[in-house]
Structure 1
Amino acid sequence: MNRNTMRMKGKIKVIEITNGYVFNPDIKSFKQQTLTINSNESETIDAQNKYIIPGLTDMHTHISPFYAKYYLLSSITNVRNTAGMYELINTIDEVSPNIYPTYKMIDGNPGLWGPSGDGHIATNDIVEAMNTVKELHAQGAKFIKVYGNIKTDVLVAVVMQAKQLGLQVAADLIHAHEQTDALHAAKVGVKYLEHASGIIQCLYSEYEPGDFEEMFFLQDVDIDSDVLDDTLDELKSRDIVLVPTLSLYRKNAFGKITVPNTNLVDKIRQDQNVTLDEMFEKLEPSRTSNYKRYAEWEYAVMKIITKRYIDMSGKVYIGTDAPAGFWNYPGYSMIEEMNIFNELGLSPSEVLHRATVMPMEVIGKHENYVILNNNPLDSFDHLMDIYGIVLNGKYYAKEEIESHTIDAAAIYKKFES
């Protein structure tokens, strides 16, 4: 039965995008064709002289209802939420990327973010940590995240409990000491190294996280290539995934926006429901001269680690950690991250493939597409110049997304109750 016959019988409805140039994952380029997408409504969109891509996926971010739509305006239709408040995330409406979530992250006591709160638990108690894994599973978390102060015995128990429930474990080990480095985490069953963290601890026996004074003797980024290769070979043999969030490291070092087109940032700043600039302004004084020097060194090391792992065919995904850190705007930072991957030597088509098709291995296949006014392979800035998006079987024009509002007062009231 052909598609038109099925339409007449009312069996299915489809959105057709005609006359556009569609990104073909096999050839990593664009080819003019018609896209047919299962839908809740029948609609034909003329995409003459437009470019169609699968939606981007930010593989490490922290979404909120207050700025969810700005991911869409940056061509992001999926996010991997790497910790946050369960109740807050579940207030997000449909004008938002699909969320592949975890919620409360598990840290040791004392917690790097203080005592247990809505977005994390700080504990050295194995039973409490295992119960948190069960709670997250019941909430629908897709994976578990652990943080840098977690104790070894607790980490082992968390991984074991997660495995029993069919969940993988991601670790942020930026602030971890040598007893919980990347190799140790990999050996006990951690799957993801967020921020490509824990690897520096394997490379420098002198490394003390956060010690901005003592690290200056390493400023020349003098990495032992044999140690680096041995470390990454071991990680690759265990199929460890890196999500390096290089734009976060760059912002820590330089604290400035790197993409020329700032129209999207202007929109975020003008949105009264978004208070990110206030947060960034409060954080900025902590970027002392010593911190900046240390952060420049750290950024240089992380680029070397990321490039070497990619060259070894290790799994590396693109993510941003927005809005954590300094001036790290949701959506917009994804464009910065893609530019850095391009600077590492990946072609624009390889970067686009890595940001669109590759994440489906983790989050699952989707039929969300972005229609762009210009070719993103000419400039990733064009990813912020959308014409429209097909999201979960519905078409949204750019103007519809831009004008979408939330009831911020109702959200705040819900939390007060």
Structure 2
Amino acid sequence: MKLLKKILKIVFALIGMLIIAILVIIGVDAQRTKYLDIDHVENGDINSYLITHVNVIPMTQDTVLTDKTVYIKDGTIETIADNINIDGVEVIDAKNKYLMPGLIDMHVHVWDRYELGLYLSNGVTAVRNVWGMPMHLRIKEDVNNDEIISPMFFTSGPKLTGPEFIGDDNLNLTTPEEARDKVVSYKERGYDFVKTYYGLTPDLFNAVLEQAKISNVDIVAHPSQKVPYSSHFDPQVKSIEHTEEFVQQPLNYELDTVKLKEVIDLYAEAKYSAHCPTLVVYNNIYQMLMDDNILESESIQYMSPLIKKVDSKAQFDRWHNTKLEDPSVTERIKKQHDFHLYIIKKLHEANVRIICGTDAGIGVTTPGFSIHKELEFYKEAGLSNYEVLKTTTVNAAKTHSIMNNMGTIEGGKLANLILTNNNPLSDLSALEHPSTVFVNGRKLDRKTLDYFEEKAKGRKNLLASGIRYAENLIIEK
């Protein structure tokens, strides 16, 4: 009996030490991201400004409103006019720079708070996170309570899959009743959307659709191979993800333009479903095949240490080994990427609403930076600069009702804005280093944005990220 008590005492002591160690690791990581707290950012508590001598790209039409004054009041666009005189408000002379709505990335995977600064540094003022975990609810709460400087933050719940094991990051459903319960639970807990995923069977998928309609919650759909692709065209499904899934599902890995037209017609008929391409993440397979040293590149230093160690390396090894066994894989991946561009062209010609998404945060797809390559691909597919900008502003903001207050520069809209030295309607590269970003009316100059990048580069929070991921596995499973 004494021995048992001694053993239990040792066990409890070890558990206590482990809990203390976990709290210390998480606490240290939280301290390191204090630079994002409202009271740590210079003038972070100010969200009213007059911006004078600015060229406004309103994104309500393909035009530039020259030499305007924009009044931001309490984080909201109040007025756009030739001249506005307001006492007691800081005046920013834009010196003929260009003001447009902030960019929206509609498909990201956020791993830590450092990445929030990376998005802002690249002009991304709102993100839709589609790999929901408990930590994302805490980020969302802090953003909504105006405690941190961050892009507007929207998140799905955990990815809903069928009974077969696809990965420990997915929620495996076995019965329609369980599917309905998860939809109800995710909404009650504060997740904004439901994310359906690969592997959902027809009965499970239909149960999610039915409950989502009852619960009035939107669905973001990664198409499931277990149901017809056409089944995803439902009013509750607000966007269908990944152009590569055209090839891998309805086209059955054939670059078939005749079959493609049938899929394009489905989109054209279903006006409620947008398409989110994520071209850059697929193209990054080609980049890995072409560059044996890609994991040592500068851009990878901005990836989460956990992702670099696990996912980035695993993806690189997979494709490197595939190339060793079959050298023709590089050409096949390139051809499929080129076909993706053709798909975007055809979707655009059919007036399908395209919304910008990058799949940033996994593999070698860097948060924030990757959006510029994604937009370049839309341009390469044949969209005009204005049409490209629509995918990441007004089109994105139309997807969910909770995002309708963004995407254009109009009275009453949220003051999520970027100021660029040159006109992005003439040159998309003007977006890459905005001189100023406004998020919720708060002004971030280039010096601050560069500091956000510096803090995120080469960060050493592997253990903290691992703990948060373990929390997800414990709570959500």
TM interval, short-chain normalised:
0.7 to 0.9
Any residues of structure 2 matched to 1:252-331 within 5 Å, and which? Answer: 252-255=285-288, 266=298, 269=301, 277-278=308-309, 279-287=311-319, 288-289=322-323, 290=326, 291-325=329-363, 327-331=364-368
RMSD of aligned alpha carbons: 3.1
Q: CA 1:90–1:408 in structure 2 vs 1: closer, same or farther (change >3 Å)?
A: farther
- For residue 153 of structure 1, the aligned residue among 182, 203, 214 is 203
Q: CA deviation digits over 1:374-394, x for unaligned, max 9? A: 322343232121222111122
SS of match in other structure, 1:79: strand
Any residues of structure 2 matched to 1:164-313 within 5 Å, and which? Answer: 164-173=214-223, 176-177=224-225, 179-186=226-233, 190-196=237-243, 198-200=245-247, 203-204=250-251, 207=252, 218=254, 221-224=255-258, 227-239=259-271, 240-255=273-288, 266=298, 269=301, 277-278=308-309, 279-287=311-319, 288-289=322-323, 290=326, 291-313=329-351
Shift of 1:196: 3.4
Match of 2:444 in 1: 396
Q: What is the rounded CA distance, in whole Å, between the counterparts of 2:222 and 2:135 in structure 1?
A: 23
- For residue 333 of structure 1, the aligned residue among 370, 395, 409 is 370
Shift of 1:189: 5.4
Shift of 1:56: 0.4
| Contact 1:246/1:337, CA 8 A, preserved across alignment | yes
Match of 2:9 in 1: none
| Contact 1:63/1:89, CA 8 A, preserved across alignment | no
Q: CA 1:372–1:249 in structure 2 vs 1: closer, same or farther (change >3 Å)?
A: same
Q: CA 1:235–1:348 in structure 2 vs 1: closer, same or farther (change >3 Å)?
A: closer
| Contact 2:102/2:126, CA 8 A, preserved across alignment | yes
Matched, 1:107 2:161: yes
SS of match in other structure, 2:422: coil
Letter in 1 for 2:274: V
Q: Which runs of 4+ in 1 moved over 6 A?
A: 406-410
Shift of 1:148: 0.9
Q: CA 1:304–1:188 in structure 2 vs 1: closer, same or farther (change >3 Å)?
A: same
Q: CA 1:180–1:13 in structure 2 vs 1: closer, same or farther (change >3 Å)?
A: closer
Shift of 1:129: 1.7
| Contact 1:367/1:392, CA 8 A, preserved across alignment | yes
Q: CA deviation digits over 1:270-292, x for unaligned, max 9? A: 78x75654442442121122454
Match of 1:85 in 2: 133
SS of match in other structure, 2:48: strand
Q: What is the rounded CA distance, in whole Å, between the counterparts of 1:352 and 1:256 in structure 2?
A: 30
**Larger of the two Rg values belongs to structure:** 2
Q: CA deviation digits over 1:214-270, x for unaligned, max 9? A: x5xx4xx3432xx33233223322222210111122112333899xxxxxx847727
Shift of 1:334: 0.6
Q: CA 1:201–1:328 in structure 2 vs 1: closer, same or farther (change >3 Å)?
A: closer
Shift of 1:185: 2.3
Q: What is the rounded CA distance, in whole Å, between the counterparts of 1:198 and 1:283 in structure 2?
A: 18
Q: What is the rounded CA distance, in whole Å, between the counterparts of 2:116 and 2:47 in structure 1?
A: 28
Gaps of 5+ in 2: 1-45, 76-87, 143-147, 292-296, 406-413, 472-477
| Contact 1:39/1:394, CA 8 A, preserved across alignment | no
- For residue 21 of structure 1, the aligned residue among 42, 47, 55 is 55
SS of match in other structure, 1:105: strand
Q: What is the rounded CA distance, in whole Å, between the counterparts of 1:188 and 1:78 in structure 2?
A: 24
| Contact 2:47/2:442, CA 8 A, preserved across alignment | no
Letter in 1 for 2:107: H
| Contact 1:20/1:34, CA 8 A, preserved across alignment | yes
Match of 1:387 in 2: 435
Matched, 1:97 2:151: yes
Q: CA 1:299–1:61 in structure 2 vs 1: closer, same or farther (change >3 Å)?
A: same
- For residue 65 of structure 2, the aligned residue among 24, 31, 38 is 31
Match of 2:145 in 1: none
- For residue 346 of structure 1, the aligned residue among 351, 367, 383 is 383
| Contact 1:202/1:231, CA 8 A, preserved across alignment | no
Shift of 1:202: 6.0
Match of 1:6 in 2: none
| Contact 2:416/2:440, CA 8 A, preserved across alignment | yes
Q: CA 1:159–1:370 in structure 2 vs 1: closer, same or farther (change >3 Å)?
A: same
Q: What is the rounded CA distance, in whole Å, between the counterparts of 1:13 and 1:89 in structure 2?
A: 24
Letter in 2 for 1:269: Q
Shift of 1:191: 3.6
Q: CA 1:101–1:186 in structure 2 vs 1: closer, same or farther (change >3 Å)?
A: same
Identify, as 1 or 2, the structure richer in helix.
Answer: 2
SS of match in other structure, 2:114: coil
Match of 2:16 in 1: none
Match of 1:212 in 2: none
SS of match in other structure, 1:52: strand
SS of match in other structure, 2:237: coil
Letter in 1 for 2:163: N
Q: CA 1:161–1:203 in structure 2 vs 1: closer, same or farther (change >3 Å)?
A: closer
**Mean Cα deviation higher: 82-91 or 288-297:** 288-297
Matched, 1:55 2:102: yes
